[in-house]
Structure 1
Amino acid sequence: MAAPDILLHAEGITKTFTLGKVAVPALRGVDVAVAAGEVALLMGPSGSGKTTLLSILGCILAPSGGTVTVMGRQTAGLPERELAGVRLAHIGFIFQGYNLFPTLYAEENIRVALDLRGITGHEARDRSRAALDAVGLSDKYRVLPRDLSGGQKQRVAIARALVAEPEILLADEPTAALDSETGRSVIGLLRDLAVTHGRCVVIVTHDARIAAFADRVIRIEDGHIVPNGGNGANGEKKT
């Protein structure tokens, strides 16, 4: 069997925050590798280090120690300008709070992601509308966020993350504000993107209902990955 195509690899990740004179360890030597076509969940109690790890994987937060490799490129020591380039080229983010611009229509919120990449005009419009179509919002192009439900806002956020076709998708509690049916639909969409288009998807969640959609559950407690399922530090491989 061929070796998996690892798109995202973190090794020996530590992170310590300083609160006054007190050093608070958030991550304590974490190893994670996620392949193309795989959906991995990061689960654990509040304060366990899940969101910190996701931010480090996405090159938003620098680790105190260890290395992160994105699409074969080590990011340790890169200046912020180059890290921004890595994020733009390879990573799509789906935030728990949606992070939509309140005065922009749904289509315009998505076009922001393309503007950052120098894609404008008719191509930007067509790609933004195609992304909204893909998440079932073909009738919401010219609707402001205030007139969208929570589930619709999350779909716009997903469309924005997908419009540039990144290889890696990172999501922070994407179902936290959604009802069961909408949550399953959102995670099903991410699952389909991983399987059909070979994306690497990492989701931080407390929502045990979506575990059935994942290939692997990575459990974190007190800054450590909890070995289980016979797979040690890389989490529990589902069968």
Structure 2
Amino acid sequence: MEYLPDEVIGNILSRLRAARNVVIASATCRKWQEAWRNHLHTLTFNSSDCPLYHEFSTSRLEILITQTIFQTKGLESLSIIMDHVDEFSAALVIAWLMYTRETLRHLHYNVRTTPNVNILEKCGRQKLEVLTLAHNTIMGVEPSYQKFPCLRTLSLSYVSISALDLSLLLTACPKIEVLTLDSLEIFMSDSQATMELTSYSLKDIYVEAISLDKFILEADSLVKLHLKDCTLKVFELIG
């Protein structure tokens, strides 16, 4: 084992995913600690994986996550899923995103923050390929075609967003292939009664528990369409 390259050890630790298991395994020896700090690429904080998280206060969890993330370099996949936590501090969440944004490819974030953090703004124009976001408010999306040049999978659950911002967001993802919209709170402006989504790369869309008067989807490459528990007076598919 002592002759294994640090990169290989980093891959082994990354396959553990759960942060608690990674930290315990990295204590094997100094070589494994170095591999954890310099070559770990996947890290997950999930309350379902570790029952101990339920016993920690929110502030202690924030400190634990901060210390763990800041001891790594080059994270490519980060998951923070804490169903029992009411909310995290916005300042710390921004610090996590800014520290990892240069290398991050997959981000799964499911915790409310106070005040609300524009996570899209912190992750834009980077290498992000997969984004799963829940319990967040999205507003003020920039009308930029290259905002997310690499994003291929986008999942929004229990998110508040206007119909216009959702349309702009999809336009800002020129390579998106998979889109999930689950239980969104969609705001319509006084002058807008229709939600229009357009994507020429989209192949798979899943929509659940959404109520709209009129929903127009234009997707030339669509292969899979799944609507579940939706209330739509008018639905049009163009392509």
**TM-score, normalization by structure 1:** 0.32
**TM-score, normalization by structure 2:** 0.32
| Structure having the larger proportion of residues in helix | 1
**RCO greater where, 1 or 2, for CA within 8 Å and sep 6 or more?**
1
